[in-house]
Amino acid sequence: MAAELEVYISGTYHKKSEAKISVYDHGLLYGDGVFEGLRAYSGNVFRLTEHIDRLYDSARAICLQIPMEKAAMAEAVNETIARNGLSDAYVRLVVTRGAGSLGIDPERTSDPQVIIIADHIALYPKEMYENGLAIITSATIRNHPAALNPRIKSLNYLNNVMAKLEGKLAGCEEALMLNHKGEVAECTGDNIFIVRRGELLTPPIDAGILDGITRGAVLDLAGQLDIPMRETALTRHDIYIPDECFLTGSAAEVIPVIRVDDRPIGDGKVGPVTKRLAAAFHELVRKS
Ligand code: PMP
């Protein structure tokens, strides 16, 4: 059996089964913290700088001071992957507010914890990448941007967990979340794209979504491949009539969607633009 994985916690490594933080940590008590999900391909972390920048932006937005420099954080991510002998890996980077008192007050916490877990992830079965996935629209809306802005990748994901649960209860692996205006926002852990008459469309960041790094990479690729694209507000109507639909995320990569709310997308098969972009994305992650 392979040696037990080791988890980085604030400067030291602990066996996975022994990696622990305080039950008084506000990350646990209140979801008070931030996180990132990254992927390494052949030992190289895809868009590491962008993930680290987003982590520090999320932390800044909640007035959480990460107790290390960005360069040291990047080094710790690479070291955790190497130390565990991983080459293709998923990395979960978490920064909690730290242990405090039994009240919300963030000023009564000390010692934010930095946790880095490098492991394997298989979010969706292989069959779904080939044949596409079915999603539903959840009744749970994405966080109102004036509450917890969805650009902050915070540990407070219960809203998304509830939407995911709605999906699972309906027999779907993902669920679409609308924003407070009733427009399409994103899925519980993935951004959404549609293709209509050859044009690639996705909601803008101000629809109240996470500024996904895979989303950005796919938009770049569309530019390079001369696929017309536009960031624009989308409604459920748009999601019911496109030729193609797919989701993007660090864990999910590019995954086709073939049914929304039990309605077939296009001819119900994975479309050519989705296939092209998925292939280009796989090529990109391998060469960067
Ligand atoms: N939206 C949400 C809500 C997410 O949690 C994620 C990350 N899992 C994404 C989109 C995709 O973002 P990225 O491509 O940066 O992983």
Write the pLDDT tens digit of every residue in 255-268.
999 999 999 999 99
Take atom 2 of ligand 1 and give the residue whose Cα is closest.
189
245 lines ligand 1 (CB under 6 A): no
Q: Which two tokens stand for residue 148?
A: 């917890």
In whole angstroms, how far apart are CA 281 and each of 3, 132, 170, 178, 286?
Answer: 32, 17, 30, 26, 9
pLDDT of residue 287: 84
Contact 141, 265 (CB under 8 A): no
174 lines ligand 1 (CB under 6 A): no
Give the chain's mean pLDDT. Answer: 97
Please give the average per-residue pLDDT across 150-172, as a whole number: 98
Contacts of 276 (CB under 8 A, 6+ apart): 225, 227
Take atom 12 of ligand 1 and give the residue whose Cα is closest.
212
32 lines ligand 1 (CB under 6 A): no
Residue type, 166: E
Tell me the pairing of strands 44-45 and 33-41.
antiparallel
pLDDT of residue 288: 73
Take atom 8 of ligand 1 and give the residue whose Cα is closest.
189
> Measured in angstroms, how far is the CA atom of residue 2 from the centroid of ligand 1?
30
Cβ burial, residue 86 (10 Å; 0-12/13-18/19+): middle
Where do the domains of the chain lie, and which CATH numbers do they carry?
6-119 (3.30.470.10), 126-287 (3.20.10.10)
pLDDT of residue 2: 65
pLDDT of residue 6: 98
Which ligand 1 atom is at minimum distance from the Cα of 54?
Answer: 15
> Measured in angstroms, how far is the CA atom of residue 210 from the centroid of ligand 1?
6
Contact 78, 121 (CB under 8 A): no
Task: Decide: pTM greater than 0.95.
Answer: yes
The torsion of the CA quartet 236, 148, 161, 237, rounded to 10 degrees, works out to 0
